[in-house]
Each structure stands twice: as structure tokens, then as C-alpha cells.
């Protein structure tokens, strides 16, 4: 059978650097940091007291106040991003077959704040017997965001959630891509969300020594590919892309941002949290994605890297890029938008895929901020163009986005300029 072509026809995003795709993109290109002291809970006793929070968002503009109380914060963020993307693409038009429009949304953890609140209350009142909120389970479970989005719009197509830690929403995009090109749906609302900036989330990652503890300078703490990096910054938010079969999009006159042309998946099979030091899984996932797309290494102009600002991760990913791309590695741009957004965990892949799509559309590569001249790691090759500190205008014919999750889950997606 002939595989169908898949294009991006809508975008949605609520991130630490903007509450819309437009604002997020503008601030990414400007190199603005979303890091600041934590306001969502009292972190004064925690090793890490800052994060990249969503700021100034009025969810009541998108969700009925009464309904919002039945949702965890991560589901609220998912609905906001999905609503923006659906509005952008107009995929909810009455004359479209909603039985062939689905929702595939990724999340790394799910309703962790709801879980924390309910268990904390029970622990303090155990002698009184169990008293749980009837919405405890439907607020907490990881799949509920995709369910809520489909309920809002009446989308009856494929509907489920992907969970692969930090690769979750890249896997959601990959699945959506495959579902559409196999002819099982006309369009998929695809993306991911996460809201884990709470005592459990920050405390848990602190216990693993995964987070930066640069409390005196949050804005400059996320510094991928710099020698002085000391861990990632916890972020929250949601990203959404409307993926649509090309002929379906053309028939309704949809605007097209870019074409999705490939995906790759692999496993490190190495360690529960650390990436393989030689980047074996990262090499495999990028090779798989390139093969699937039919593109050669020299066709790629930009890589939005996983780039978390951790010691092992940054080194292994850079090694993998050199292995896969060879001499072409020195001609393309590399950047980590996590230097600005922090690490959005299950939402990272979707937000970074959106940035990758916009880089392809606008021919501009957002920077990797916070690198200081001389702060070089001897294990990194600085002949690679990490796009330090300033966005770079250049032709971006095609680009890839990498995400690597705890458990050794690797996922990669490929976008290129749309042409007939």
C-alpha cells in the first residue's frame, strides 16, 4: 500500500516562555529564559527552589471554571494547547468526519499534584477512615487529557496516551504520523502535557541529583553544552500539533506549516535514568528517523536536541550527532530550547517539535542560551554549531527533534518544508 503524506496544519502551546505558540516562538528566538523562583508551592526547604513555570495563564478563557476543578493542572494545560491548535487548524468544522479525527497525547507522569494532595490528606486523617475526592482517579490518570480533548470536540477517532518519560509526546507525534499515513485517520490532535512542579515532583528529581541547584541564578541555570552545567530545570506546559493527511488538508484549504516525513524509535537498554555514555540509542534513533524519512544526513539543517544540561546526556548526544551525520554535523545547526523552557518532561517533545516546525517554516534557528565564552567541556567538540546565545537565520530545509526518556526510551521526528 502507498503511505499517505502527513502535514502540520495547527499549533498550540502553553509554556514557561509564552501562553500561545506565537508568544513562545517570539521569546525562544529572542533567547528569553522562563526560569524563576518556584511559586506553585513552598520550596524553601528544597535543594532546588526554582523552576520554569507557566505564568499568567487564565484557564477560564479556555475551560469552564466548574469543569476545571475536576481536572489536574496537566489536563488543564493540555486542553489549553489543544484548543489553540484546533482553533488554528479549524479541524473542528461541522462538515468534517469526526469519526476519522483522533487524539494522541503524551504525558510522562500525569496528575502527580492530585495524587500528592489526596494522599497527603488521607495520611493526615487516617484515623477518620478513607475520604477521597470522587474525581481523584479521573483527575490523576495519565490518559485523561486525551479523553477530555476528544469529549470537548466529539472526535471519535483513535484516542490514547503515550508514556515514555521525556519522550512521551514525541512518541505521540510518531504514533499520530503512522496512524494517518496508514489511512486509519484523517487528522490527529497530537502532543503532550506535564505539570509536575510540586513537592513530590521537585523532591523526587532532587533525590536523584537530576536538577540544577543554582538557586542564586535561576535564569542562567540551564546551560546545555557548557562545562559548568549542573542538571536540568523542571518545566511545565503543553504543546499540540494538528497532524493531517495531505489531501484532506488541501481539500479544505488548510494552511500548512510543514510536512512530517519521518519518525524513529529506539531503546538504550542501558540504565533506568542515565543515557548510554556513547549515545548508542541516540545513534540508532536518528538513523531510524532518517531512514524512515528518506532523507540523507546532508539534507538536515537543524537538530532540536534533547540537550537537558546534564553531564552525561549532553556529551552522549553530541557524540551521537557526529556519528550519524559525519562531516554534515559541522554544517547544520544544533540548539537546545530547554535552555529557555526548562525540561517539560512529557510535554517536551511536543513543544520542541513545534519549535522545529517553526524553524523550518521561518528559516531561523532558536539559540542555546547561557553559554559563556571559555566555559567549554573538554569532552565536547565546539566545532559543532550549538547556536550559542543568539538565534541564527539560515535556510532550514529539514529538521529533526530528539527526545530521550528515563528508562532508555528514545524518539525522534523529522519535518521538512512542504512542497507539492
Task: Say if residue 36 is exposed, middle or buried (CB neighbours under 10 Å; 0-12, 13-18, 19+).
Answer: middle
- Catalytic-labelled residue, pool 52, 166, 198, 412: 166
Task: Provide the 10 A C-beta neighbour count for residue 179.
Answer: 21
Nearest to residue 263, comparing CAs of 404, 413, 105, 415? 413
Cα(345)–Cα(222) distance, rounded to whole angstroms?
15
Cα(147)–Cα(82) distance, rounded to whole angstroms?
12
Task: State yes or no: is 166 an active-site residue.
Answer: yes
Helices 311-325 + 280-293 axis angle, to 10:
40
Task: State yes or no: is 198 an active-site residue.
Answer: no
Angle at 186 between CA 151 and CA 415, to 5 degrees: 105
Task: Provide the 10 A C-beta neighbour count for residue 129.
Answer: 7
Residues 37 and 26 sit within 8 Å (Cβ to Cβ): no
| 3-state SS assignment for residue 75 | helix
Cα(69)–Cα(73) distance, rounded to whole angstroms?
9
Cα(23)–Cα(102) distance, rounded to whole angstroms?
27
Cα(342)–Cα(5) distance, rounded to whole angstroms?
32
- Catalytic-labelled residue, pool 220, 248, 343, 371: 343
| 3-state SS assignment for residue 188 | strand
**Mind telling me the catalytic residues?**
166, 306, 343
Amino acid at each position: 500500500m502507498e503511505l499517505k503524506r502527513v502535514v502540520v496544519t495547527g499549533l498550540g502551546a502553553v509554556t514557561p516562555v509564552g501562553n500561545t505558540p506565537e508568544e513562545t516562538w517570539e521569546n525562544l528566538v529572542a533567547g528569553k529564559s522562563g526560569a524563576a523562583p518556584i511559586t506553585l508551592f513552598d520550596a524553601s526547604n528544597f535543594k532546588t527552589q526554582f523552576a520554569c513555570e507557566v505564568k499568567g495563564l487564565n484557564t477560564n478563557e479556555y475551560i469552564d471554571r466548574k469543569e476545571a476543578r475536576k481536572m489536574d493542572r496537566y489536563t488543564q494545560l493540555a486542553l489549553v494547547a489543544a484548543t489553540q491548535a484546533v482553533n488554528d487548524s479549524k479541524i473542528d468544522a461541522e462538515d468534517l468526519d469526526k469519526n476519522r479525527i483522533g487524539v494522541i497525547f503524551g504525558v510522562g507522569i500525569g496528575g502527580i499534584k492530585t495524587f500528592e494532595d489526596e494522599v497527603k490528606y488521607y495520611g493526615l486523617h487516617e484515623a477518620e477512615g478513607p475520604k477521597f475526592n470522587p474525581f481523584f482517579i479521573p483527575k490523576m490518570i495519565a490518559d485523561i487529557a486525551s479523553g477530555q480533548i476528544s469529549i470537548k470536540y466529539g472526535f471519535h477517532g483513535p484516542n490514547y496516551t503515550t508514556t515514555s518519560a521525556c519522550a512521551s509526546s514525541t512518541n505521540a507525534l510518531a504514533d499520530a504520523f503512522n496512524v494517518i499515513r496508514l489511512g486509519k485517520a484523517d487528522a490527529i490532535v497530537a502532543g503532550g502535557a506535564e505539570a509536575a512542579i510540586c513537592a513530590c515532583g521537585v523532591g523526587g528529581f532532587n533525590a536523584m541529583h537530576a536538577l540544577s541547584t543554582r538557586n542564586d541564578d535561576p535564569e542562567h541555570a540551564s546551560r546545555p553544552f557548557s562545562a559548568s552545567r549542573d542538571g536540568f530545570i523542571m518545566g511545565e506546559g503543553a504543546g499540540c500539533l494538528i497532524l493531517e493527511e495531505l489531501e484532506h488538508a488541501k481539500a479544505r484549504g488548510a494552511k500548512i506549516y510543514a510536512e512530517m516525513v519521518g519518525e524513529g524509535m529506539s531503546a538504550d537498554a542501558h540504565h533506568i535514568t542515565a543515557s548510554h555514555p556513547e549515545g548508542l540509542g541516540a545513534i540508532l534513533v536518528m538513523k531510524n528517523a532518517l531512514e524512515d524519512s528518506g532523507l540523507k544526513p546532508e539534507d538536515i539543517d537543524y537538530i532540536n536536541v534533547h540537550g537537558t544540561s546534564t553531564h552525561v546526556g549532553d556529551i552522549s548526544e553530541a557524540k551521537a550527532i557526529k556519528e550519524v551525520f559525519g562531516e554534515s554535523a559541522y554544517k547544520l545547526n544544533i540548539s537546545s530550547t530547554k535552555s529557555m523552557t526548562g525540561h517539560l518532561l512529557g510535554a517536551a517533545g511536543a513543544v520542541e517539535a513545534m519549535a522545529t516546525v517553526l524553524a523550518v517554516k521561518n528559516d531561523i534557528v532558536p539559540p542555546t542560551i547561557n553559554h559563556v565564552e571559555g566555559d567549554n567541556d573538554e569532552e565536547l567538540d565546539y566545532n559543532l554549531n550549538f547556536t550559542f546565545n543568539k538565534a541564527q537565520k539560515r535556510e532550514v530545509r529539514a529538521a529533526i527533534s530528539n527526545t530521550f526518556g528515563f528508562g532508555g526510551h528514545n524518539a525522534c521526528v523529522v519535518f521538512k518544508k512542504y512542497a507539492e
